[in-house]
A and B are shown apart, each in its own frame.
Chain A
Amino acid sequence: MSTVVIEQNAYAAQFAAMRGRLPGTHLPWLERLRQKGMDDFLALGFPTTKLENWKYTNVAPIRRIAFELALDRPLTGTLEIGSSAGPRLVCVNGWFSPTLSSMDSGLNFHLLNMGQALQDPERAGVIEKHLGRYTSTSDHAFAAWNTTLFTDGAYIEIPRGIAVEQPIQLTFISADHGKPRACYPRNLIVAGEGSQVTVVESFLGFDESPYLTNTVTEIVARPGAVVDYYKIECESPEGFHVAVINAHLDRDASLTSHSMSFGGGLVRNDLNVALDGEGSHCTLNGLFAVDGRRLVDNHTRIDHMRPHASSRELYKGVLDGNAAGVFNGAIVVHENAQKTDAVQYSKNLLLSREAQINTKPQLEIRNNDVRCFHGATIGQMDADAIFYLKSRGIDELEASRILVRGFGGEIIDGIRVPALREQLERLLDGWVGSVAEPRA
């Protein structure tokens, strides 16, 4: 027990040493928020597998490493970070990189790095209203930890009625650490009434030594806003990735989320959506491909808090080697949420006998007038289908690719950004190639 305290104290010491250099130090409310995050983090300690929400995900490997705060480093060499035009905000090691970013000044919405946004009294006012409001620090140690130490990130504010045509790319790169470091991006997306926006968050890692990305994104969708949110996680195999995404939807607002996990040694995503307006809707889609001894854990929670809200959820996992996957999908229908319409599916494809998936729906319904459906499937590669493809001259690797692509297609085909769809097809194909080689 005492070692745990020492480990967390290391972060308290970092906070004490760094707090003057973190963004927004001039804002008392933010100082209080960060301090509360620290207090909560120290009180909570790292989650253990005794906690229901962490039953299958042991974070001891993260606890055992004293991660130093990652430093702002200029990237050497060139970087291929997607081809699409449009606004892009890049953070390297959690710090805003003006040279890699391209944010035109003539935009009819606000796209700023958090540090800059906090300097602007008007933006800081909006941030104060929302930051940390949808993310409780008292029940999630990593969220508390991020709240204390977040270094930078994206601030997106779409004014009322504005439809942003091009997707906004947020890219988080972890590189050149040399020793264990942690990055703490923090993003806030505020979509004004009747606005529309697409945001693509990508996480890339190039490190061969352990590092941690501890990220939090908060999404606010005002009445009638339409938010298309993508999260693409491609950390390096040495990377730990813990992400908390909290979305709050007003009346008739709609959120579509695609969460794609392709990399990282240990990945945990917590996606929480509060349908806090009549007629609000969320679609939560997820795809993860995991191999080796890696682990990907997706926890989602949808709170149906008002009448006539609907949710659609489909998470698909492909697992190979000794990999482990977790899907835990909570749907909570509150007392006054009549006419709730919720459908949840978890579908999984196991490519090896050793791979493991734990999938669990968690329905809590406090209202009679609802339609809730959930289903989960776990299957293996279909031998008949493999033979069918082979009998047409297609070799084993390509046959596996085709079947995995078909499996993932249900998610990938739903991606509304063409360049992103192609990128994900390549990622999935590449993944199948990388796991199939050792077998050949």
Chain B
Amino acid sequence: MLRIRNLSASIDGKPILRRIDLDVRAGEVHAIMGPNGSGKSTFAQVLAGRDIYKVAADELTFNGRDLLQMPPEIRAREGIFLAFQYPIEIPGVSNLYFLRAAVNAVRAHRGLPELDAVDFMSYARQQAKALSIDDAMLKRSLNEGFSGGEKKRNEILQMTLLEPRLAILDESDSGLDIDALKIVADGINAMRSPDRGIIAVTHYQRLLNYVVPDQVHVLAGGRIVRSGGKELAMELEEKGYGWLEQEAVTS
């Protein structure tokens, strides 16, 4: 599904990601862990097509298609979704209006008819309910004045509605209390399916108690310094990142 070979990224001449290799197959959940400043968010943003980074790779393909040639909106329509670590507030634009514009853009690309406001409303409401998102939140301006938890749940709602093939979750768990974390984790688990890949970027092992990954990768200093099974996450929880960062520096 996603194939990455020798990916590097820099901003203003400053390298952030170096020589990253990764394969995500349909049905798999990959966790990307790492300390602050290790390049986790950059990695997520690069996959979604953020153009402020200078990106180079021997290969960066999604279902065989070259992502480097694809603007972010086409990546999204092809099925890549990024749940933002810090969702953007857009005053004056209702959450519902935005959600419908996004869903219809993706539907049009897939040859599906547009959903009108009424059909969409009932569909969105139904999905929102599972995430404890009420009508008032759907009608408010997009993310404006949302609490941290509301923003994260709203990201998960977008993922649910857009039905991506590859979902990238950038710290969707950070700043959540345990109840909100469970809601978010349930939302992610509901998305798990044999034809969908998930990349969960997280600083903490906590999320992985609920969303059990197939593989765990540790990013430090812009490199994947270690990959393993879910037990690697446990090890990190115990030992912290220090020992791996040390390895990153010396390698």
Chain A residues proximal to chain B, CB less than 8 Å: 382-385, 387-396, 398, 402-403, 405-410, 413
- Establish whether residues B90 and A392, one from each chain, have CB atoms under 8 Å apart when the complex forms: no
List 18 contacting pairs A-B, 8 Å CB cutoff, sorted by A. Answer: A383-B52, A387-B50, A388-B87, A390-B49, A390-B76, A391-B48, A391-B49, A391-B72, A391-B76, A391-B84, A392-B76, A392-B105, A394-B101, A402-B93, A402-B97, A405-B92, A406-B93, A413-B92
Separation of A409 and B94 alpha carbons in the complex (Å): 10
- Establish whether residues A392 and B92, one from each chain, have CB atoms under 8 Å apart when the complex forms: no
Residues of A within 8 A of B84 (CB): 388, 391
Query: Within the complex, what minimum Cβ distance (angstroms) separates A180 from chain B?
Result: 40
- Establish whether residues B87 and A392, one from each chain, have CB atoms under 8 Å apart when the complex forms: no
Tell me, yes or no, whether B237 is within 8 Å of chain A by CB: no
Query: Within the complex, what minimum Cβ distance (angstroms) separates A308 from chain B?
Result: 32
- Establish whether residues B72 and A410, one from each chain, have CB atoms under 8 Å apart when the complex forms: no
For chain B residues 87-116, which have a beta carbon within 8 Å of chain A?
87-88, 90-93, 97-98, 101-102, 105-106, 109
Chain B residues proximal to chain A, CB less than 8 Å: 48-52, 71-73, 75-77, 81-82, 84, 87-88, 90-93, 97-98, 101-102, 105-106, 109, 141, 158, 162
Separation of A11 and B91 alpha carbons in the complex (Å): 49
- With A385-B88, A406-B141 as known contacts, state yes or no: A390 contacts B93, CB within 8 Å: no
- Establish whether residues A407 and B92, one from each chain, have CB atoms under 8 Å apart when the complex forms: yes
- Establish whether residues B73 and A395, one from each chain, have CB atoms under 8 Å apart when the complex forms: yes
Residues of B within 8 A of A391 (CB): 48-49, 72-73, 75-76, 81-82, 84
- Establish whether residues B92 and A409, one from each chain, have CB atoms under 8 Å apart when the complex forms: yes
**Which 6 pairs between the two chains have the least Cβ-Cβ distance?**
A409-B92, A406-B92, A392-B102, A393-B76, A393-B105, A406-B93
Residues of A within 8 A of B101 (CB): 392, 394, 398, 402
The residue of chain B having its C-beta at the shortest distance from the C-beta of A409 within the complex is: B92
Chain A contact residues: over half helix, strand or loop, or mixed?
Answer: helix
- With A390-B76, A394-B73 as known contacts, state yes or no: A409 contacts B105, CB within 8 Å: no
For B49, B71, B77, B90, the residue with the greatest tally of chain A CB atoms inside 10 Å of its CB is: B90
Separation of A385 and B87 alpha carbons in the complex (Å): 9
- Establish whether residues B98 and A402, one from each chain, have CB atoms under 8 Å apart when the complex forms: yes
Residues of A within 8 A of B92 (CB): 405-410, 413
Query: Within the complex, what minimum Cβ distance (angstroms) separates A266 from chain B?
Result: 29
Separation of A390 and B98 alpha carbons in the complex (Å): 11
Contact with A403, one of B49, B76, B82, B90 (Cβ below 8 angstroms): B90
The residue of chain A having its C-beta at the shortest distance from the C-beta of B168 within the complex is: A391
Separation of A402 and B162 alpha carbons in the complex (Å): 19
The residue of chain A having its C-beta at the shortest distance from the C-beta of B108 within the complex is: A393
Separation of A410 and B51 alpha carbons in the complex (Å): 30
Residues of B within 8 A of A406 (CB): 90-93, 141
Residues of B within 8 A of A408 (CB): 92
Separation of A403 and B71 alpha carbons in the complex (Å): 19
Query: Within the complex, what minimum Cβ distance (angstroms) separates A348 from chain B?
Result: 15
Contact with B77, one of A383, A393, A402, A410 (Cβ below 8 angstroms): A393
Residues of B within 8 A of A382 (CB): 88
Separation of A109 and B130 alpha carbons in the complex (Å): 55
Residues of B within 8 A of A405 (CB): 92-93
Contact with A392, one of B52, B91, B162 (Cβ below 8 angstroms): B162
Separation of A436 and B101 alpha carbons in the complex (Å): 18
For A383, A403, A406, the residue with the greatest tally of chain B CB atoms inside 10 Å of its CB is: A406
Residues of A within 8 A of B162 (CB): 392-393
- Please give 16 more A-B residue pairs, beta carbons under 8 A apart, in addition to A392-B73, A393-B105: A383-B52, A388-B84, A389-B98, A390-B49, A390-B76, A391-B76, A391-B82, A391-B84, A394-B76, A394-B101, A395-B105, A396-B73, A398-B101, A406-B141, A409-B93, A410-B91
Separation of A340 and B93 alpha carbons in the complex (Å): 34
- Establish whether residues B105 and A398, one from each chain, have CB atoms under 8 Å apart when the complex forms: yes
Query: Within the complex, what minimum Cβ distance (angstroms) separates B98 from chain A?
Result: 7
The residue of chain B having its C-beta at the shortest distance from the C-beta of A399 within the complex is: B73
Query: Within the complex, what minimum Cβ distance (angstroms) separates A370 from chain B?
Result: 29
Query: Within the complex, what minimum Cβ distance (angstroms) separates A240 from chain B?
Result: 31
Residues of A within 8 A of B102 (CB): 389, 392-394
Separation of A383 and B50 alpha carbons in the complex (Å): 10
Query: Within the complex, what minimum Cβ distance (angstroms) separates A209 from chain B?
Result: 38
The residue of chain A having its C-beta at the shortest distance from the C-beta of B51 within the complex is: A387
Separation of A385 and B98 alpha carbons in the complex (Å): 12
Separation of A107 and B193 alpha carbons in the complex (Å): 67
Residues of A within 8 A of B48 (CB): 391
Separation of A410 and B92 alpha carbons in the complex (Å): 6
Residues of A within 8 A of B77 (CB): 393
Residues of A within 8 A of B90 (CB): 385, 388-389, 402-403, 406
- Establish whether residues A392 and B158, one from each chain, have CB atoms under 8 Å apart when the complex forms: yes
Residues of B within 8 A of A385 (CB): 88, 90
The residue of chain A having its C-beta at the shortest distance from the C-beta of B86 within the complex is: A384
Query: Within the complex, what minimum Cβ distance (angstroms) separates A377 from chain B?
Result: 13
Query: Within the complex, what minimum Cβ distance (angstroms) separates A409 from chain B?
Result: 3
The residue of chain B having its C-beta at the shortest distance from the C-beta of A413 within the complex is: B92
Separation of A403 and B101 alpha carbons in the complex (Å): 13
- Establish whether residues A390 and B72, one from each chain, have CB atoms under 8 Å apart when the complex forms: yes
The residue of chain A having its C-beta at the shortest distance from the C-beta of B52 within the complex is: A383
The residue of chain A having its C-beta at the shortest distance from the C-beta of B101 within the complex is: A394
- Establish whether residues B87 and A393, one from each chain, have CB atoms under 8 Å apart when the complex forms: no
- Establish whether residues B91 and A387, one from each chain, have CB atoms under 8 Å apart when the complex forms: no
Query: Within the complex, what minimum Cβ distance (angstroms) separates B77 from chain A?
Result: 5
The residue of chain B having its C-beta at the shortest distance from the C-beta of A395 within the complex is: B73
Separation of A389 and B162 alpha carbons in the complex (Å): 13
Residues of B within 8 A of A384 (CB): 88
- Establish whether residues B88 and A393, one from each chain, have CB atoms under 8 Å apart when the complex forms: no
Separation of A336 and B88 alpha carbons in the complex (Å): 47
